[in-house]
Amino acid sequence: MAASLFLLLAVVLAFTGGVGPWVVMGTVVVATAAGTSLPDLDTPLKLRHRSAMLHSILPLLVAFQDRRTWPVAAGLGFGIGLHLAADLFPSKMRGFATIKLPLWGSIGPALSYVWIAANAAANLVGAMMILSRIADRQMMMGVLVGVGVLGIAYLMRTDGGWCALAMFAVIGWLALR
């Protein structure tokens, strides 16, 4: 439920807050918070756990359709990327932990790892690309600090946190290069 509230707040900020640097930065960080738990809305939405629809780059692409919601798209990319990075390190990749395609079911453990890793990287790279279009270098650094603090706080309370944080940091560093 927190994801829905954070996402709603981010969209409201995007549509009513103007384009000031603080509003853009705040919108990206709030949308990042929403993105960290957005994939877990699959169960309340009556989708199977680890639905491919929410454990992918799809939410970022939907938010990217309107220029006013590009800060939301960037934040969702960061947040979902963080969530997927953590999902790469389950205790065991079977059953509940595997990715489920609509009308198909589980894609199995090996393809689930590939799906999660590819979509974690795609979300992070997509978020960085969008952020570079909507923010100058100084604003970008402010957003990345906010996202970094939020990411550390999120990943330290999830399974696989340190490994996920290291992986996310490496992908982020490569995306900046």
Mean pLDDT of 161-177: 75
Residue 104 scores a pLDDT above 90: no
What is the number of structural domains in the chain? 1
| Whole-number pLDDT of residue 131 | 94
Digit-coded pLDDT (tens) for 124-148: 999 999 999 998 888 888 898 899 8
Of 88, 72, 93, 94, nearest in space to 26 by CA: 72
Tokens for 5, please give them.
């509230």
| Whole-number pLDDT of residue 4 | 66
| Whole-number pLDDT of residue 63 | 92
Count Cβ atoms below 10 Å from residue 58 Cβ, excluding itself. 16
| Whole-number pLDDT of residue 173 | 76
Q: What rounded mean pLDDT belongs to the chain? A: 84
Q: 21-37 and 109-134 are packed helices; what angle lies between their axes, rounded to 10 degrees? A: 170
| Whole-number pLDDT of residue 175 | 67
| Whole-number pLDDT of residue 59 | 94
| Whole-number pLDDT of residue 93 | 65
Q: In which band, very low, low, confident or very high, does the pLDDT at 157 lie, cut at 50, 70 and 90?
A: confident
Digit-coded pLDDT (tens) for 22-78: 788 888 999 999 999 889 887 777 777 888 888 999 999 999 998 888 999 999 999
Mean pLDDT of 141-168: 84
The more confidently predicted of residues 122 and 42 is: 122
Tokens for 84, please give them.
């997927």
The more confidently predicted of residues 134 and 5 is: 134
What's the CA gap between 17 and 11, in Å, rounded? 10
Which structural domain, as residue segments, surrounds residue 25? 2-176
Of 11, 27, 34, nearest in space to 135 by CA: 27
**Residues in contact with 160: Cβ distance below 8 Å, sequence separation at least 6, in sequence order:** 86, 88, 89, 90
Q: b/e map of 26-45 (b: 16 or more CB within 10 Å)?
A: bbbbbbbbbbbbbbbbbeee
